[in-house]
Amino acid sequence: MAYAYWSLGSNLGDREGYLANARRAFTLRFGGARFSRLYETEPVDVTDQPWFLNQVVEVESLDSPESLLEWARSLEASQGRQRVVPKGPRTLDVDLLLYGDWLRAEGDPLIPHPRMTQRRHVLAPLAELAPDLKIPGLSLTVARALEQVKDPAQVRIHVEP
């Protein structure tokens, strides 16, 4: 059994609803899932799009990374995800960040997620759940990676209306 950490994001339509549906799916699939709070985050890379809601999920799993990725893609599709513009707007984005102490530099998915330490919108909610977790392949904890990240994008706790 290994802990898997996932990043969830949505910036189209009913963002809260898509993330709530994802939380239900994670709970049904994995049981004792833990969730960070929701974070309102400025888009990176493709900046001419709505702000995101992001969240991190922690689960325990014995599944292969490939089966986890397949499940994540089906979850995205169930919420209307269409891959039209790379890094563009989406109803739901589900990324596997970490899986136990796995290091996987080839294949799909790459583990740890190759850009997670460059993204404040990933590190902030991950640090809420697991600040002392060591990132495999790096001599950094999640909290230290968040302190060092150079990403200028704004990230703030989401206050639901």
Annotated catalytic residue, options 37, 45, 48, 93: 93
CA 112 – CA 58 distance, rounded (Å): 14
Q: What residues does each domain of the chain span?
A: 2-157
Annotated catalytic residue, options 15, 37, 63, 81: 81
- pLDDT of 66 reads 95
48 is catalytic: no
104 is catalytic: no
- pLDDT of 159 reads 87
Once rounded to an integer, what is the mean pLDDT over residues 143-155?
97
**Contact status, residue 36 vs residue 126, Cβ threshold 8 Å:** yes
CA 67 – CA 97 distance, rounded (Å): 15
pTM: 0.96
Instruction: Check pLDDT > 90 for residue 67.
Output: yes
Annotated catalytic residue, options 29, 48, 73, 95: 95
Alpha helices in 61-119 (DSSP H): 65-78
Instruction: Check pLDDT > 70 for residue 161.
Output: no
- pLDDT of 155 reads 97
| Residue 7 token pair | 């990043």
Which stretch of DSSP H or E encloses residue 122?
A: helix 120-129
Give pLDDT tens digits for 7-49. Answer: 999 999 999 999 999 999 999 999 999 999 999 999 999 999 9
Once rounded to an integer, what is the mean pLDDT over residues 92-116?
96
What average pLDDT is seen over the chain?
96
93 is catalytic: yes
SS3 assignment, position 138: coil
Q: What is the fold, at CATH topology level, of the domain defined by 2-157?
A: Alpha-Beta Plaits (3.30.70)
Burial of 6 (0-12, 13-18, 19+ CB in 10 A): buried
Confidence of residue 88 (pLDDT cuts 50, 70, 90): confident
Confidence of residue 82 (pLDDT cuts 50, 70, 90): confident
- pLDDT of 48 reads 94
Annotated catalytic residue, options 90, 119, 120, 144: 90
Instruction: Check pLDDT > 80 for residue 62.
Output: yes
- pLDDT of 31 reads 92
Instruction: Check pLDDT > 70 for residue 90.
Output: yes
